[in-house]
Amino acid sequence: MFKTKKELVFIILAGIFITNALVAELIGGKLIYLGPFIMSVGILPWPIVFLATDLINEYYGRSGVKKLSLITASLIVYAFVILFFAMGVPAAEGISVVTDEQFNGVFGQSMWIIVGSVVAFLVSQFIDVSIFWLLRDKTGGKMIWLRSTGSTIISQLLDTFIVAAIGFLLPGKVDFATFINMALTGYMVKLIIAVVLTPAIYAGHAGLKKYFGDEADEIIKHTAEESLHHKVKS
């Protein structure tokens, strides 16, 4: 079915990436307390997205991340279109386990949240890939933790504030103080997660190197040359 190990790994990483990004968007409208602080429960699947993004960056380059990000954003919009029509279909009274009110309450996120989620996702992913390759170029491929964590720290700052601003502040769902509270809390949680994930990032790199065997270094070298050449051209 798959001609090369590289194709199989990309399909697996892409599936993990898309699934977790989509789930994060679907559950993002629920706000929870973290002690005295407020954040979106949609943050929970993002550690896996961070890890998948890093590995895709390393083995498939900036074009791989950008194309996958555009595909994922399109699928997120598609999912919300399907949900929009599903909410318009009445539940069978008396026999449906889930009522219209329950279904719409869970999936009836406003257009602002959808727009905010997609815009924030694309901006953060494009920023992430740019910073990743900038740091990789500066370090000569060394210090995996720096390019992985560094790109996440900056990109997720933008992601967190953009989605909170467009999805909650602009439509008046929360006041400015709550917006700052939830955005800062969400960002700090993502920051902590990014640091805690460092061992998992190294484990992921080690696992793929072992799986690819002798091809691993050649794949990484070729990907780096293509990505850095793309940067020069652009």
Tell me how far apart the alpha carbons of residues 59 and 208 are, in angstroms, rounded to a whole number. Answer: 9
d(CA 30, CA 41): 6
Of 4, 3, 5, 1, nearest in space to 210 by CA: 5
- Dump pLDDT digits (tens) for 81-113: 998 899 999 999 888 888 998 888 888 766 677
CA 34 to chain centre: 21
The chain-wide mean pLDDT, for the chain, equals 87
Predicted confidence (pLDDT) per residue in 127-151, tens digit: 999 999 999 988 888 888 889 888 9
CATH number, domain with residue 185: 1.10.1760
Neighbouring C-beta atoms of residue 154, cutoff 10 Å: 16
pTM score, whole prediction: 0.86
- In the chain, % of residues over pLDDT 90: 41
Q: Could you read off the pLDDT of 34-80 as tens digits, one per residue?
A: 888 888 888 888 888 888 999 999 999 989 999 999 999 999 999 98
What was the pLDDT predicted at 229?
Answer: 66
Percent of the chain's residues with pLDDT above 70? 95
Please compute the mean of the pLDDT values over residues 170-195 and round it to a whole number.
89
- For 139, the domain range is 5-233
Q: How many domains does the chain have?
A: 1
More confident: 209 or 167: 209
The reported pLDDT for the residue numbered 28 is 80
